[in-house]
């Protein structure tokens, strides 16, 4: 079960601003930079991943025991995939503790910005994992679809227990609450479809925000809104 500990050199300020719902507003850039710097200091990036054979006709993952992907959107997203990679990633609990502490101290704006920076940080951990995997999988003749997480489209969060089992996410400190929310909150689980040959990742459903019907989301990417 591969473990990956990427090194973050920075936390993306632009993405932090987007996750804070501030993409369309002028905001104190120094305050955003402060939150990004604190997130960088507190982050404990860790990820685990595992690859399985996949039957795209039945949605069955050849794990033990087998796991069937449920949901029209995720099955469509994985159309043509011969294997799948399940990924779990986190930036740990220290950031969450700091977010709560700042809020309790009345630093509400900073708490919100740090929360957004933590979200940006864990997404960067996932991105780094994909960058690490891509050349290895390319040598085996596979191209990667973009990662798809429970909660996207009609892929229900009730799939979370299986993703945590398949990735052994407990070994990096990731668990689930009774309401199936990830703990620490700044964690991600996802599936990545692997397609043989040189099929481009663009030859399927739109990526990220473009695949979501919630057009009024404050975190929606501006580039998508212009499409």
Residue 224 has pLDDT above 90, yes or no: no
Residue 164 has pLDDT above 90, yes or no: yes
Separation CA 214–CA 221 (nearest Å): 12
Q: Residue 77, CB half-sphere, CA atoms under 13 Å: how many?
A: 28
* Mean pLDDT, residues 9-26 taken together: 94
pLDDT per position as a tens digit, 39-71: 999 999 999 999 999 999 999 999 999 999 999
Give, in order, the Cα–Cα distances in Å from 41 to each of 10, 19, 85, 118, 125. 10, 19, 29, 11, 14
pLDDT per position as a tens digit, 87-107: 999 999 999 999 999 999 999
Q: pTM for the full model?
A: 0.87
pLDDT per position as a tens digit, 176-212: 999 999 999 999 999 999 999 755 444 444 455 555 5
pLDDT per position as a tens digit, 120-154: 999 999 999 999 999 999 999 999 999 999 999 99
Is 153 in contact with 191 (CB distance < 8 Å)? no
pLDDT at residue 24, rounded to an integer: 85
Query: How many other C-beta atoms can be found within 10 angstroms of the C-beta atom of residue 119?
Result: 23
């Amino acid at each position: 079960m591969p473990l990956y500990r990427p090194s973050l050199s920075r936390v993306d300020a632009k993405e932090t601003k987007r996750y804070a719902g501030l993409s369309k507003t002028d905001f104190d850039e120094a305050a955003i930079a402060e939150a990004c710097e604190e997130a960088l200091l507190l982050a404990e990036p860790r990820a685990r991943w595992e690859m399985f054979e996949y039957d795209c006709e039945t949605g069955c993952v050849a794990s033990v025991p087998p796991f069937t992907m449920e949901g029209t959107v995720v099955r469509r997203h994985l159309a043509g995939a011969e294997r799948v990679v399940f990924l779990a990633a986190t930036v740990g609990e220290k950031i969450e503790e700091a977010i709560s502490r700042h809020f309790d101290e009345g630093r509400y704006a900073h708490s919100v910005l740090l929360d957004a920076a933590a979200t940006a940080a864990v997404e960067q951990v996932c991105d780094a994992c994909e960058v690490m995997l891509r050349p290895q999988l390319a040598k085996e003749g596979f191209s990667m679809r973009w990662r798809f997480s429970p909660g996207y489209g009609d892929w229900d969060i009730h799939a979370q227990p299986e993703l945590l089992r398949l990735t052994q996410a407990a070994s990096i400190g990731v668990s689930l609450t009774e309401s199936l929310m990830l703990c620490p909150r700044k964690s991600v689980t996802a599936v990545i479809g692997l397609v043989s040959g040189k099929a481009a990742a663009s030859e399927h459903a739109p990526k990220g925000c473009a695949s979501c019907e919630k057009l009024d989301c404050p975190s929606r990417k501006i580039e998508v809104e212009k499409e």
